Amino acid sequence: MTTHPSPTTTELRARLADTFSEECREYRQRYHDNPAAIVPILSMQGVTKHLDGRMVLNGIDLDIPKQAITAIIGISGSGKSVTLKHLVGLMRPDSGIVALNGQNLGSLSGKKLQAVRRRFSLLFQGGALFDSLNVFDNVAFPLRETTRTSESEIQTRVFGALEDVNLSGMGHKFPDELSGGMNKRAALARALITRPEIILLDEPTAGLDPIIENAIHHLICDTFLRTRTTMVVISHAVPAIFKWCHHVIVLHQGKVLASGPAMTIMDSSDPVIRQFIRGEVDGPIHIL
């Protein structure tokens, strides 16, 4: 079997010589130079979770920095989606604490928990739209359900959101009339429409072609620069996410393997992280 040499860090960096805006790159550099200036908004301490008798989260400690884009990466099954569900209070830990601005989500229930959840917007992996609603009504749904926005304002916002994800003129279509990528983009528009304090996106670009993937990355980055909303993105788009994410958390076997500014993680000498970023078959992670 012919083996191809894996890319060096310099080659990886060159590949990332990017078209992202100066502002995007400056923000990332500023964060890299001074991560302590950004305070955590969400945190998990010692979180464990068993599902179906199996330890899925094995003592997760992490901080999500406020007003930054955090990427959560790791191999399939490492616990990324389960972690995200804990962060928004959809799952409760067996032990440990999930806190928003220092407030333990585990101490909340009923209306208080609902009020906290309204501060989040979550795009689920799979990004399901409601089949019985057209795209316009899908995107308008959170505004109609959770706010008292007027119909004329809703119209303006939905048209703007559809334009942002390149779906202008598609509002009348139903989900089964759209391609998978179009469905994903409509779901992204729906996640962004309420302008929440924290946006969590579980694989917003899975299954999209590379051009649309790149366009979505730009959209997320531009939305961040416009709004400075805290964002958490689970993504397999490695190494592309290192272009525009500020903070990276690597999950492995239900634990945080590493966490820090994107460029620090990209240069990590940890063999698991290096193998994952380079997508190599040989290494400490045994997939095959």
Ligand X SMILES: Nc1ncnc2c1ncn2[C@@H]1O[C@H](COP(=O)(O)OP(=O)(O)OP(=O)(O)O)[C@@H](O)[C@H]1O
Which residues of this protein are in contact with Mg ion, per CB under 5 A? Answer: 80-81, 125
- Interaction partner, residue 261 (Mg ion, ligand X, none; CB < 5-8 Å by kind): none
Contact 69, 246 (CB under 8 A): yes
User: Whose Cβ is closer to ligand X: residue 81's or residue 229's?
Assistant: 81
Task: State in angstroms the smallest separation of the CB of 17 from ligand X.
Answer: 28
Q: Is the torsion defined by CA of 140, 142, 148, 153 positive or negative?
A: negative
| Residue 252 binds ligand X, judged by CB under 6 A | no
Binding string, 114-133, against ligand X, x = CB under 6 A? -----------x--------
Task: State in angstroms the smallest separation of the CB of 50 from ligand X.
Answer: 9
| Residue 82 binds ligand X, judged by CB under 6 A | yes
Q: Which amino acid is at 72?
A: I
Token output for 63: 């901080």
User: Whose Cβ is closer to ligand X: residue 118's or residue 278's?
Assistant: 278
Number of residues that bind ligand X (CB under 6 A): 12
User: Whose Cβ is closer to ligand X: residue 35's or residue 59's?
Assistant: 59
Nearest in space to 276 (alpha carbons), one of 236, 217, 234? 236
- Interaction partner, residue 82 (ligand X, Mg ion, none; CB < 5-8 Å by kind): ligand X
Q: Which of 28, 62, 80, 249 is in the footprint of ligand X by CB under 6 A?
A: 80
Which residues fall within 8 angstroms of residue 72, CB to CB, at 6 or more apart?
80, 83, 84, 232, 233, 234, 235, 248, 249, 251
CB atoms within 10 A of CB 246: 24
Task: State in angstroms the smallest separation of the CB of 91 from ligand X.
Answer: 8
- Interaction partner, residue 131 (Mg ion, ligand X, none; CB < 5-8 Å by kind): none
| Residue 81 binds ligand X, judged by CB under 6 A | yes
User: Whose Cβ is closer to ligand X: residue 243's or residue 252's?
Assistant: 252
Token output for 5: 């040499």
* Distance (Å, whole) CA 281 – CA 284: 9
| Residue 58 binds ligand X, judged by CB under 6 A | no
Interaction site with ligand X (CB under 6 A): 51-52, 56, 74, 76-82, 125
